[in-house]
Copies of this chain bind each other. A is one copy, B any other.
Amino acid sequence: MIREGDRPTESTVLIEGFAGRYNVLRNGKRQITALHVPGDFTDLHSFLLKTMDHSVLAITPCTIGMVPHETLHDIFENHPHLARLLAVSLAVDAAIHRHWMVAVGRRSALEHAAHLLCALFVRLQVVGLTEGYRFRLPLTQAELGDTLGLSAVHVNRVVQDLRKENLITWRGEMVTIEDWPRLQQLADFDPTFLSLQNEPR
């Protein structure tokens, strides 16, 4: 969708499908730094920072909305309330990044994977893309490895552990959380950081 180094003139909102941001290192390793679900602004910051410091990947076919930077400019000039909401979206983005960092740096592979599933589930729930504890996760294990900072092989083993513990089932693209309290506990998951509370903004 967008490549590192680009200087887009419009920002994109994800309407349908899954997308992600990633960086590739010299040595070929890839780190996915964000997963986007419908409703997310995938590159609001391109309006503010001009040149992309990472690429954006359509994980599934996506339908997206394009918002010209001029429009964003206008929002900042003339619609302070909306501008504020855009800023909130940036701040939530950063908060998710921070919690992701904590997971990469200080959690075991198992806890980290559990944490990602928890966070993703809650975000999908908000936009109505869950059925009970079931949701679509169209990632290959290799891609999941790139988001968790693990090798594909190890992801496989971790996923099998989660299955053996009856915490999740995962067939094809569908994941079901079988024991939400226990998964949350394993992940040490606290949804506060997602800022989903209804707060006066």
Using CB atoms and an 8 Å cutoff, list the residues of chain A in contact with chain B: 21, 23, 25-27, 29-31, 33-34, 44-45, 48-51, 53-54, 76-78, 80, 83-84, 86-88, 90-95, 97-102, 104-107, 148-149, 188, 192-193, 195, 197, 199, 201
Q: How near does chain B come to A73, taking the closest CB pair, in angstroms?
A: 8
Give A130 to B31 CA distance when docked, in angstroms: 31
Q: How near does chain B come to A94, taking the closest CB pair, in angstroms?
A: 4
Q: Secondary structure of the A side of the interface?
A: helix
Determine the residue in chain B with the shortest Cβ distance to A95. B53
- Interface core residue of A21, A33, A88, A195 (most chain B CB under 10 Å): A33
Pairwise interchain contact B105-A149, C-beta atoms closer than 8 A:
yes
Q: Collect the chain B residues with CB atoms within 8 Å of residue A23's CB.
A: 98-99, 102
A88 with B33: in contact, given A99-B23, A101-B104 (CB under 8 Å)?
no
Give A99 to B83 CA distance when docked, in angstroms: 26
Pairwise interchain contact A49-B91, C-beta atoms closer than 8 A:
yes
Determine the residue in chain B with the shortest Cβ distance to A100. B101
Pairwise interchain contact A48-B83, C-beta atoms closer than 8 A:
no
Pairwise interchain contact B98-A53, C-beta atoms closer than 8 A:
yes
Q: How near does chain B come to A65, taking the closest CB pair, in angstroms?
A: 20
